[in-house]
Structure 1
């Protein structure tokens, strides 16, 4: 368990930039110290997300209602949600719907594309679409949550240190896309540390704020962040990883 709790505040206070959905409970921060882009990409690379693209693989885009020159593409956290969107599109607009398909892509690749488009006036912006079930859990746990893709992290102890997982010789702070996953970590911790069970808390931050914090934050614990794929994503990875 890592004992410093400032990381959650660093993420919450990170300003939303680029192609993200603005969440009104995140405020700008002052001191900036970016992690290298390749480090950010590596942290995001293991998370599959899903876009709707045409037959050539170009993402389906919509124009911003306030800025007709700004093009926005949806990035679904859930493949099922992306499939449902395509099915609805095929019913409402059969001609367009018949030309698109759901394409898996890593979150790291989306981040790289967003960075490449950030300084182009007509570049594509990416809007992340969370699962509704995760949104509802986030609202239950944090009344300040308004929008964005929720992530769940657990803390415990008098100083509310982070519950960690070990990979090799290092400890990492897992941020989960599903509340049920962080609950599993919490239950394991309570069994091993029953005297600290009552101190456990589950915090909610948003993916968009985390990405911004990775770019701008000055907290050394940012390097310890590990994004934990949802159960749906884990199943997708297993089904699409060649057997060795």
Structure 2
């Protein structure tokens, strides 16, 4: 898909309803969770697109389908942009790397019409994909694609670990395996009797978003998407708000009050 973006850069630009900064259009009303809850879950995570000053994304057209790439890593987006400047400087002069929230991307997806549908391809960080592949292969499983999220579990029933933030329990879903491992090790030290039960599941971001749209399970409201350290550094550099620490500082514990499937495992 990324090669297609280079090859088809002459198609840059779409109608206003596909602008990353626009929330126009009719949203799907058949959501199991309230729209505001889904947005709240996704809002705090920035992702990175190649777009012009009006927020119109760089697109590829292949077999009459329109595509655009949304990068999880700012550095990956910048690397792609540098390549674009060399291979198609005219188009590159019209666009730049722009940060948008995951919630904005979600709203853009749900506001589209079939006539002007733009397929959004999330571009995961390759090192995290390799980590997911290795983790799954050790269990005889295969990576099925998508943006891997790493979720610590523990206990005989493989309960999700939870952390408390502002007197609320959350289930962290990490964009980096290293952060999930750090939380898992913290739990092992605090609970040595359960150390052998601790594991890390891999759940695609795309599955999480789909599940938010299809289920009203209360456990879904507890999901906390935890950005990579690269993204946390970006947030801190571009916001007066406090970025999350890596990982959450308080002691994790098993979540015994929810079912065990906020999203399908891969």
Q: TM-score, normalised by structure 2?
A: 0.75
**Which blocks of at least 5 consecutive residues in structure 1 are unaligned?**
1-31
Matches within 5 A, 1:91-170: 91-117=86-112, 119-142=113-136, 143-170=141-168
Deviation at 1:218, TM superposition (A): 4.3
Q: Say which of 76, 79, 82 aligns to 1:81.
A: 76
Deviation at 1:33, TM superposition (A): 6.7
Judged with a 3 Å threshold, the aligned counterparts in structure 2 of structure 1 residues 243 and 75 are, in CA distance, closer, same or farther, namely closer
Q: Partner residue of 2:67? A: 72
**Which blocks of at least 5 consecutive residues in structure 2 are unaligned?**
1-29, 243-266
Deviation above 4 Å: which 4+ runs of structure 1? none
Matches within 5 A, 1:25-36: 34-36=32-34
Deviation at 1:75, TM superposition (A): 0.6
Deviation at 1:144, TM superposition (A): 2.3
Deviation at 1:125, TM superposition (A): 2.4
* 140-149 or 157-166: bigger deviation: 140-149
| Counterpart-to-counterpart distance in 1, 2:200 and 2:240 | 35
Identify the structure with bigger relative contact order (alpha carbons < 8 Å, sequence gap 6+).
Answer: 1
| Counterpart-to-counterpart distance in 2, 1:42 and 1:218 | 15
* 210-219 or 37-46: bigger deviation: 210-219
| Counterpart-to-counterpart distance in 2, 1:60 and 1:100 | 8
Q: CA RMSD in A?
A: 1.6
Q: Partner residue of 2:175? A: 177
Question: Residues 141-199 of structure 1, C-alpha deviation per residue, up to 9 Å, x if partnerless?
Answer: 12321210000001111111111110122211100000001011111101110111111
| Counterpart-to-counterpart distance in 1, 2:241 and 2:150 | 31
| Counterpart-to-counterpart distance in 2, 1:136 and 1:60 | 27
Secondary structure class of the residue paired with 2:111: helix
Deviation at 1:71, TM superposition (A): 1.6
| Counterpart-to-counterpart distance in 1, 2:159 and 2:213 | 23
Secondary structure class of the residue paired with 2:49: strand
